[in-house]
Amino acid sequence: MTKETKKQGFATRQIHGYDVRVPGINPLATPIFQTSTFVFDDCAQGAARFAGKEDGFIYSRIGNPNVEQVAKKVAILEGAEAGLALSSGMGAVSTVLLSLLEQGDHIVADLALYGATFTLMQDALPRYGINTTFVDATDLDMVIDAIKPETRMVYFETPTNPNLKVVDIAELVKRVREKDPLILVVIDNTFATPYLQQPLSLGVDVVVHSGTKYLNGHGDVISGFIASNKTIIDRCRDIGLKMVTGSVLGAFEAFLINRGLKTLDIRMEKHCKNAMKIAEWLETQPKVRKVYYPGLKSFEGYEVAKKQMKLPGAIISFELEASKEAAEQFVNSLELITLAVSLGDAETLIEHPASMTHAGYSKEMLEEAGISETLIRISVGLEDADDIIADLEKHLAAV
């Protein structure tokens, strides 16, 4: 029924990574297995499947062919032994944290995180006795100094949402391993995707994704992924997904992500090409105070990004030389660029992190995280770069 291809190139694997065939019908596209449960031949078979003595599907919370297909595909693209697909990026993040940590454990995390990940660590996990020390993960001494005897996990994004800080993955892993080899290093690879950056090859233990973004790429699905070794994925599935979070991806959503994944490389190439052109243009504008983009030589993370990323990604943040009100008016007036949160879609999206995606941060925390209150974030889409620039130019003139 399935054919796995591991050793081929990225483009081949994103298309054929885990082909599902249905003998007798043989459709090219994987059919949608829209079923909650699977029929057993007899009691012995049902018991054997529950006991793990026989492969086969049981119930769609535990496994479904479409969901397994995308989970395996993302794992293959990340170079992981195993993968798990979930109903949202937050489903992936919470499943990792709640499956791998327990009361009394401690996390060291970068302070610049997607807003809901931050509030999960800051506000929700302490209720279960799991506390987090927030650091600047680009400062490796600060990471190491924050490690305590009860630290079980170091967690970060790179590039970070929304201010695009770039953490040196290999160096961070090396320093953490020297301090305590049992600490799990977890990275959120959403902004980079496995096409631009493969953290497991740099020593990271667990990769999480919001599959809502580039992996699906078409703005029509919420989803999440975890990629790691088999032991960790089994734990995340058998404890986290199955019994704690229950954040199961639907078959139709998995079908759409599988379709999106087939063009991941060419979409990322175009996203990044557009972003580079727009970031360079923004940098020349007198009304723009600062541009945050890992592809700009003037940006702090440039050298590390060049070392560990194939291309610098397609999220750009910037600040205007203008009042908060004028910046708001500028965003409201844009015509082609759409005012919406999320990222990684064909459409160019713009948002204001301090009042939207990162509204869970206090004023002080925003400042400490280096997320300016006037920061504007653009997810550069797949339109013609000149049209995106024309929209920015027209409305910047009015600021």
Contact positions vs ligand LCS (CB under 6 A) = 88-90, 93, 114, 116-117, 157, 161, 188, 190, 210, 212, 222, 224, 341-343, 357
Token pair for 398: 């009015």
Concerning whether 188 is annotated as a catalytic residue, the answer is: yes
Strand 184-188 versus strand 151-157 pairing type: parallel
Is 113 or 396 the residue whose CB approaches ligand LCS more closely? 113
Residue carrying the six token digits 């290093």: 185
Q: How far apart (Å, rounded) are the C-alpha atoms in residues 311 and 295?
A: 8
Is 89 or 295 the residue whose CB approaches ligand LCS more closely? 89
Is 105 or 157 the residue whose CB approaches ligand LCS more closely? 157
CA-atom Rg of the chain in angstroms:
21
Could you say which of 136, 188, 205, 391 is catalytic? 188
Other C-beta atoms lying within 10 Å of the C-beta of residue 127: 7
Could you say which of 19, 59, 61, 174 is catalytic? 61
Is 33 or 114 the residue whose CB approaches ligand LCS more closely? 114
Concerning whether 141 is annotated as a catalytic residue, the answer is: no
Query: In angstroms, what is the minimal distance from the CB of 172 to ligand LCS?
Result: 17
Distances (CA, A) of 190 to 161, 199, 335: 9, 11, 27
User: Phi and psi for 39 in degrees, rounded to 5?
Assistant: -85, 135
Is 49 or 352 the residue whose CB approaches ligand LCS more closely? 352
Q: Is the dihedral of CA 358, 362, 364, 365 positive or negative?
A: negative
Concerning whether 242 is annotated as a catalytic residue, the answer is: no
Could you say which of 13, 18, 49, 114 is catalytic? 114
Q: Which H or E run includes 2? A: strand 2-4
Query: In angstroms, what is the minimal distance from the CB of 341 to ligand LCS?
Result: 4
Is 249 or 396 the residue whose CB approaches ligand LCS more closely? 249
What three-state secondary structure class fits 22? coil
Q: How far apart (Å, rounded) are the C-alpha atoms in residues 42 and 64?
A: 20
CB 157 within 8 A of CB 191: yes
Q: Which residue is nearest to ligand LCS (CB)?
A: 89
Biggest CA–CA distance in the chain, Å, is 73
For 310-322, b/e burial (b = at least 16 CB within 10 A) is: bbbbbbbbbbbeb
Concerning whether 213 is annotated as a catalytic residue, the answer is: yes
> Active-site residues: which are they?
61, 114, 188, 213
